[in-house]
Amino acid sequence: MKVVITGGSGFLGRTLAAALLARGVLAGPSGAPEEIDEVVLFDVGRRSNGLGRRLRGVVGDVTDRQQVEAMIDRSDCSVFHLASIVSGSAEQDFDLAMQVNLQGGLNVLEACRARDVSGRLVFASSLAAYGGAELPAVVTDLTKLTPRSTYGMTKAVLELLVNDYARKGFVDGRGARLPTVIIRPGKPNLAASSWCSSILREPLAGKPYALSVPLETRTLVAGVRTAVDGLIVLHDAPASSLGDDRTLNFPGLSVTAQDLVDALVPFGADRPLGEISVQRDPVVEAIVSGWPQRMSADRARALGVPSDESLEAIVRVYLARGC
């Protein structure tokens, strides 16, 4: 079996690739485990290596349909579609978001359809597919999608496309409506949720951090290892367990920015923590304020998708990775 991960050289993609290579197998079309003989990390401008002999890094763009088709070149191919323009960038550049997030996703679906792929497609959606002031206190898989950002809109549209391609029998697609996945290493990016990682990462490195939202801001987060394990569970779930709506809410911890700050306290004994201040950004606030604060994940849990124990556990995993 071949596995293609679009956006594979990113934070989530590299963690997923390492987990798949360590695991060695995924469910095939019959549901029985099949050996993974190749993992392809398909990404823009970044070639990955060093994860094992079965890993191949390919520089490419999901907006180029021919390049996508060249990667999805076998019928025994499973695809994890993670490539996306992040929320802040999507809000700044509508046309780029439409090209990458929407047309890129359609290119992946069409490549699977053209190749008559018998493997499965897992699409990374987002809690940003929900939005607005009229959201219920707890959103469920039955809550109407009313995104209030271009990024969220593209995710919602792709959810519908995955449903229809599955209904038509073009590809066995399924989607994960992810909370914000933390702790992202490296520098902050333009995602509106970037503060969820930065508020932990920068102080742990002894650096000061200026938070762009009030400390009482509440959001949903998940650790990267838990998110990756959930994506694999979703891939291996039988199609009969998914029903007509192929995208599921994934479990997340409902936390405030203050909760994230407090999660650093146990680690202050071992290292000097950087100081946290608040410098509010109205653009980031406007995007984040429309996201759900609590999300039911009953369908995902019924499939065995895991959830995080605590913020402290997420921080410990991050530090154990040597970040």
Selected catalytic residue, list 130, 151, 209, 318 = 151
**What does the block give as tokens for 300?**
């995902």
**Alpha-carbon span 146 to 125, nearest angstrom:** 14
What SS3 class is residue 268? coil
Helix ranges (DSSP H) in the chain: 11-23, 65-71, 87-92, 94-97, 104-115, 150-167, 195-204, 224-236, 257-263, 282-288, 298-303, 311-320
Distance CA 153, CA 184 (A): 24
Contacts of 137 (CB under 8 A, 6+ apart): 293, 294
Q: Residue holding tokens 């999660």? A: 263
Residue 237, classified by CB atoms within 10 Å of its CB into exposed (0-12), middle (13-18) or buried (19+), is: buried
Q: Are 233 and 303 in contact (CB under 8 A)?
A: yes
DSSP state of 131: -
Structure tokens at 28: 């095939």
Q: Is 151 a catalytic residue?
A: yes
User: Which residues touch 111 (CB under 8 Å, ≥6 apart)?
Assistant: 65, 68, 69, 71, 72
Question: Could you give the residue numbers annotated as active site?
Answer: 151
